[in-house]
A and B are shown apart, each in its own frame.
Chain A
Amino acid sequence: MRKFVDRGVQYVLFLSAMGAIFIVFLILFFTARESIQAFREIGMADLLIGTVWRPGQGSFGILAMIIGSVLVTLGAIILGLPLAVGGAIFLAEVAPNWMREIVRPALELLAGIPSVVYGLFGMVVLVPLVRQIPASRNTGFGLLSASMVLAVMILPTITNIAEDAIRAVPRQYKEGSLALGATHWQTIVRVIIPAARSGIVAAIILGVGRALGETMAMIMVIGNSVIVPQPLNDNPLTIVLSQARTLTGNIAVEIAYATGLHESAIFATGVVLFVLIIIVNSSARLLMRGEAT
């Protein structure tokens, strides 16, 4: 009897272990099945490089959204990177214990705050601030506001993983360098950071993955106009004030009322996003594996 129970339990547990891969399969199957019509009728090329998205008139190009996602992510990385990497080195090498006890929970909480709350904060505080920048057609909603919100949201991801990478550097490297007369800072810059480089890069890439996937906060502050972001006037820097739409926003905003080819094109947007994320995450994983050996 006990043997019988033992066997039965093992099969049940095996099935639940297969659950995860079953879900991956279901996700791939359903997004592929629903998007096939779009890929067939619109064509891979027109879908990917078309800049006009007018579902009512049968135009389904998602290039504007791809560019929007990429630009807002780039902005978030530019704004967030110094804080994240500086914070990671600080936590791993410089911080006294009491300061670590403050920063760690702060990062934990930053990671836990719901994205709608960030979006709300962006709408109420950042957007009116950005609107103060004098430029015609500047609504405050756009790439700059969205990048600022996103920079804070990916900060915990990058800081935590980069800190782990720095901590994983063997003690002997550090001790060897210090023994040779280098200051702590020289040791950090010339020995520790080069040794942890691939882990830090992996942390940044994972941050990119997180940024590309963010949805609600982006919808709330980026303006959602389907345009390829352009400078508002002669000053090329005003491109950061341009509205945009992300791939994720395109899915969330339109899926509920989309039908037919339009719905299929939304699923195609999902496929493109999924492929992008898989490329980004696997390259990070490859880098981290290289680090471990």
Chain B
Amino acid sequence: MAREASIRQIGVRLSGGAQKSNIAQRHVIQQLAFALMWLAAILTVVVLLLVVGYVLVEGARVVDWEFLATPPRGGLSAEGGISTTLVTTVYLVLLTAAIAAPLGIGAAIYLVEYAGEGQGTSGLTAFLVSVARFGVELLAGVPSIIFGLFGYALFVVTLNALTGGFSLLSASLAGACLVLPVIIRASEEALRAVPRAYREGSLALGATKWQTIWQVVLPAAAPGIITGIVLSVGRIVSETAVFFVTLGGSHHAPQSIKQGGRTMALHVYYLAMDTRAFEKAMGTGAILIVTIVMINLAINLISRRLTAGLKGR
């Protein structure tokens, strides 16, 4: 019924215009409209090339091996390279992933395998699960500075004795909150894509539910889950606001997780805003863009293998 009604509506909408314009005119209008849309798409690509090209070309002037291998001098001087910020970025990515990945993957496994469609949960558990789903959705929309604000209040100030205040630990805890929804969503999707027959086969062979998940479902879902983790690595590398208010900004490399530092992205900010050292900032930005491009390539490679693998089966 509804479809009939809307098809009739379509007919009404069409007859209004069709009478007025002849066929040639209609084609001219269409060509014009499509040309504008081509323009929009081409502009999008041009904007990308402009931003990326400018930063890479300007950045290439200062980037060399020495730039990568010397630590920044710090203070208001723009001397030195970015070695310690590279190290801090790697530390932060590893620590954040170590915190967020187990939690996120665990949550996704529960949501899909134990509380998914057709699973009999009732009462309080069902309510908590729907609340948790809502929580993931909510977290995904929260702007990063709110995670920063919260991380500052909880990890930097309240738990100062445990985290050392502005530190790698505070920053990666706040960062983990930021990327948790990314990991949960990607893992959920990957787990859902595993065919039911895999689970049924394993259960029929006498494996317990957990054995089935651990030895059959997780290996099959691994590429999708890894994509989620790589995505969140990209988020951490490019995120600035959260770490601006939790990581402290020291230009030294942290010696322990209780010490602060600055990531490459933060270094770009400090160079541009405090020192006005735009050339060095461009150099650091260029390294950032190269990193992000490599991360995107990795994701595309994994997902291509994933689709190829599923087709092969």
Interface of A with B (CB < 8 Å)? 2-3, 5-6, 9-10, 12-21, 23-24, 26-27, 30-31, 33-34, 82-83, 86-87, 89-91, 94-95, 99, 102-103, 105-110, 112-121, 123-125, 152, 155, 159, 170, 172-173, 176-177, 180-186, 188-191, 194-195, 209, 212-216, 219-220, 248, 251-252, 255-256, 266-267, 270, 273-274, 277-278, 281, 285
Contact = CB atoms under 8 A, between A and B. Distances in A.
Could you tell me the dominant secondary structure of chain B's interface residues?
helix
Interface string B280-297: 011001001100110110
Given A17-B129, A20-B181, A285 B278 contact: no
A267 B153 contact: yes
Given A94-B37, A117-B268, A106 B45 contact: yes
Nearest to A9: B210
Interface stretch (B72-80, B136-144, B194-202): B136-144
Given A34-B153, A285-B137, A86 B48 contact: no
Contacts of A285: 137
A267 B149 contact: yes
Nearest to B137: A285
Contacts of A34: 153
Given A87-B44, A116-B288, 19 more contacts: A2-B208, A10-B210, A17-B110, A18-B107, A18-B128, A86-B37, A90-B41, A109-B292, A112-B292, A117-B268, A117-B285, A120-B272, A121-B51, A176-B10, A177-B10, A190-B13, A248-B143, A252-B148, A273-B145
Nearest to B39: A86
B39 to A, nearest CB: 8
B107 A216 contact: no
Contacts of B45: 102-103, 106
Contacts of B211: 2
Nearest to A174: B10
Contacts of A215: 143-145, 240-241, 244
B135 A120 contact: no
A20 B107 contact: yes
A24 B181 CA distance: 11
Given A10-B114, A19-B180, A177 B142 contact: no
Given A123-B278, A190-B10, A118 B51 contact: yes
B110 A16 contact: yes
B69 interface: no
A255 B113 CA distance: 42
Given A119-B269, A277-B142, A176 B106 contact: no
A117 B66 CA distance: 22
A110 B269 contact: no
Contacts of B142: 27, 213, 274, 277
| Of listed A83, A89, A113, A213, residue having the most chain B CB within 10 A | A113
B18 interface: yes
A14 B114 contact: yes
A116 B177 CA distance: 21
A84 to B, nearest CB: 8
Nearest to A28: B150
Given A106-B44, A113-B289, A185-B33, A180 B14 contact: yes
Contact of A120 (B150, B238, B282, B296): B282
A139 to B, nearest CB: 14
Contacts of A116: 238, 240, 265-266, 268-269, 272, 285, 288
Contacts of B289: 113, 117
Given A6-B210, A20-B180, A106-B45, A30 B110 contact: no
Interface in B255-305: 265-266, 268-269, 272-273, 278, 281-282, 285, 288-289, 292-293, 295-296, 300
Given A103-B41, A106-B45, A177 B55 contact: no
B272 A114 contact: no
Nearest to A170: B3
Contacts of B184: 20
